[in-house]
Amino acid sequence: MTPVRLIGVGAYLLGVFALVPLFIAVTGRWDFYYTLTSVALLSVGAAGVWLTFYIGRINIGQGAYALVGGYVSAILVVKAGFSFWATLPLAGIACAIVSVVIGLPILRLRGVYFAMVTLVLTEVARLSALALPVTNGAKGITSIPLPGELAVFGLTIIPDFATLANPKLAFYLMAAALMVVTYFVLWRIVNSRLGHLCRSLQQNEELASSIGVNTAMLRVLAYSISSFFGGIAGAVFVAISQSIYPSSFVVTDSVNFMLYCFLGGLGYVFGPMLGTLLLYFGWDLLSIAKQYQLLIYSGSMIALMLLLPNGILSLLDKKENRQ
């Protein structure tokens, strides 16, 4: 990594973990913690969607995996007595397993057919949550306890959230740390041999297959990693809200995960993070337009996609070309 990039990463980490909490403490706007926590977790789910775009597939079903991950964590915590920290990786693994079962047949389809199948996944997950006894149907699962203490060899790594004076700060730091780790993993994947192979699928699957690349395996692997991120994000959302219902994640959420990637830039690892931040705050700011909020929002999205088809981060490339 170049010195310029190291400085950029250092400034980013300083802003996320020091400047943001300082700003909120000075202004007293504690509600920003919930907003920024939501942005961080949504960007984690969007990172998974971006990875499927990276192999040339459109994923409109990430909301399904967020819902599955949330239910897995809630059921294990409430009904099996698991620690939240133990359910976090289990929620991601469960979603990865489900995605492999689903992905093995549908990832052999052409891109447009795969997108059409993923579009119904969120609704299938919602209907399953309504029908299954273990999920309590429409009543959902409520009164989920806050994350407890995480200790290793008797040393407390993370305190019990219920004992904290300000659990909102703790949730923000947890979500921000998860976001940082997620994007580091994503960046590492893209810049590894696996990432180069995935890029070959995006460019020409037939050519990649002809030189010995196992395209089917790569598709399933990328899709399972994508779903893992969605499950993790869903589990943390449930811990924050302390409840989950079949309608906690709907088709609109799956579409938004995709839009975050488009807006930030499909060609950039950090595109989903920027897209999530701008869209989340943009929608809130447009609330002053009242009944015209959706119209302005939709029109702005169409205009951005026409003017910047490669996302907002593509402006950096244009600036470099001018220089």
Tens digit of each residue's pLDDT (9 = 90 or more) over 26-73: 888 888 898 899 999 999 999 999 999 998 888 999 999 999 999 999
The highest-confidence range among 19-23, 51-55, 230-234, 273-277, by mean pLDDT, is 230-234
List pLDDT tens digits, range 183-193: 999 999 999 98
**DSSP-based three-state secondary structure for 155:** strand
Of residues 118 and 285, the one with the higher pLDDT is 118
**53 neighbors 201 (Cβ within 8 angstroms):** no
List pLDDT tens digits, range 256-282: 999 999 889 888 899 999 999 888 888
Average pLDDT over residues 170-180: 94
Residue type, 166: N
**253 neighbors 123 (Cβ within 8 angstroms):** no
- Residue 49 tokens read as 């969607």
**pLDDT at res. 111:** 66
**pLDDT at res. 177:** 94
- Residue 242 tokens read as 């302390």
Q: Domain residues of the chain, as ranges?
A: 31-322
